[in-house]
């Protein structure tokens, strides 16, 4: 079985596994990586960019190496084994089911009027200060987190899995996890986390654009999604969250962005889809989760198709090169034979 089909079948199986099983409460591979990265940080931390670069290289390089070794170990194995390894890696790095579960938990608490329970649950989704948020602001925070994490926790991994197989899946999750751990503009991580934050911006770029495009295609208001993406995405401080949140805002017909509070620090961000959107309501949380799910499967189809197309183009190029080489060899042989015949006639 070709590598493109191994990825398509394995990634689909991994997403189905995530849908059925979700994330385990204990022993999750990403949690294990986080503990290892924290240990590396304890050994390397200095208020210095160079140390942060080393931290990023060690952690991301280690995760990529594990993926490469695993892929190499099953390279000659039966197709079912290679599909299973890809499925296991996909399940380990995506988090769509947990994202939807946590969003719905906050939504249920808000719908029942239990704002305190919602405040206790919100930190499972994002780093906002829940005590400073009212019901509408918490609902908005949930929708924004669903949008951004659809890219970070699902689509971005699929993109890099399509590009580089199992090593790509693990590398992207390592990069994204490091950004969540140290990619902050706090006094401790402003310099040390610089490399992780910049690498996450780079690695997340293609997945964010694919997520935004899929939200346009899968959302209830395609024109609104395109309009908000084009008009407002650049106003967001994140180069990747901007297109995703803007397209979700336009697709759902709501306003996102505005004033946010993180750990006592207040940010005043641009409003996304402010011209045509309405304030987020609790019911919009479920709409965002459903849109996220549609985006996920549409992104998988796009990644599988892209990998298949690339594989066919590569095979066609290889065949053309082989044909050309054979033609040149035949031409050289024919020229040599003709020259040899002329020489023999001359001697005769």
The string of pLDDT tens digits covering residues 242-257 is 999 999 999 999 999 9
Confidence at residue 185, expressed as pLDDT on a 0 to 100 scale: 85
Confidence at residue 188, expressed as pLDDT on a 0 to 100 scale: 94
Confidence at residue 266, expressed as pLDDT on a 0 to 100 scale: 73
Confidence at residue 131, expressed as pLDDT on a 0 to 100 scale: 86
Whether the pLDDT of residue 27 is over 90: the answer is no
Whether the pLDDT of residue 61 is over 80: the answer is yes
Instruction: Give the span between the Cα atoms of 320 and 325, in whole angstroms.
Output: 9
Residue 268 burial (10 A CB sphere; 0-12, 13-18, 19+): exposed
Please give the mean pLDDT across all residues of the chain: 91
343/47: higher pLDDT = 47
Confidence at residue 260, expressed as pLDDT on a 0 to 100 scale: 78
Residue environment code for 284-307, b if the CB has 16+ CB neighbours within 10 A, otherwise e: bbebbbebbbebbebbbebbbeeb
Confidence at residue 338, expressed as pLDDT on a 0 to 100 scale: 57
Whether the pLDDT of residue 319 is over 70: the answer is no
Secondary structure letter of residue 128 according to DSSP: -
Instruction: Give the span between the Cα atoms of 131 and 255, in whole angstroms.
Output: 21
């Amino acid at each position: 079985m070709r590598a493109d089909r191994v990825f398509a079948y394995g990634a689909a199986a991994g997403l189905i596994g995530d849908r059925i099983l979700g994330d385990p409460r204990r022993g999750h591979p990403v949690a294990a990586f986080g503990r290892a990265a924290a240990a590396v940080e304890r050994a390397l931390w200095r208020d210095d960019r160079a140390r942060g670069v080393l931290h990023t290289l060690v952690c991301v390089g280690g995760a990529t190496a594990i993926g490469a070794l695993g892929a190499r170990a099953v390279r000659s194995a039966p197709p079912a084994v290679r599909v299973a390894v890809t499925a296991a890696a996909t399940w380990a790095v995506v988090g769509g089911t947990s994202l939807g579960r946590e969003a719905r938990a906050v939504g249920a608490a808000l719908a029942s009027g239990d704002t305190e329970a919602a405040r206790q649950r919100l930190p499972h989704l994002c780093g906002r200060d829940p005590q400073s948020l009212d019901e509408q602001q918490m609902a908005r925070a949930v929708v924004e987190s669903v949008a951004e994490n659809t890219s970070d926790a699902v689509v971005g991994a699929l993109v890099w899995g399509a590009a580089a197989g199992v090593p790509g899946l693990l590398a992207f999750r390592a990069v994204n996890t490091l950004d969540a751990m140290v990619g902050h503009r706090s006094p401790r991580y402003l310099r040390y986390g610089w490399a992780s934050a910049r690498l996450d911006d780079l690695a997340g770029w293609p997945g964010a654009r694919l997520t935004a495009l899929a939200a346009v295609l899968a959302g209830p208001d395609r024109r609104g999604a395109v309009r908000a993406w084009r008009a407002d995405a650049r106003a967001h401080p994140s180069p990747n969250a901007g297109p995703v949140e803007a397209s979700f805002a336009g697709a759902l017909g709501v306003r996102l962005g505005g004033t946010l509070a993180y750990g006592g620090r207040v940010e005043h961000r641009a409003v996304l889809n402010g011209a045509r959107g309405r304030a987020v309501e609790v019911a919009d949380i479920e709409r965002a989760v459903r849109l996220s799910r549609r985006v996920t499967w549409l992104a998988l189809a796009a990644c599988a198709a892209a990998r298949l197309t690339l594989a066919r183009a590569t095979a066609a190029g290889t065949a053309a090169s082989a044909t050309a080489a054979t033609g040149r060899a035949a031409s050289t042989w024919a020229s040599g034979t003709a020259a040899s015949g002329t020489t023999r006639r001359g001697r005769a």
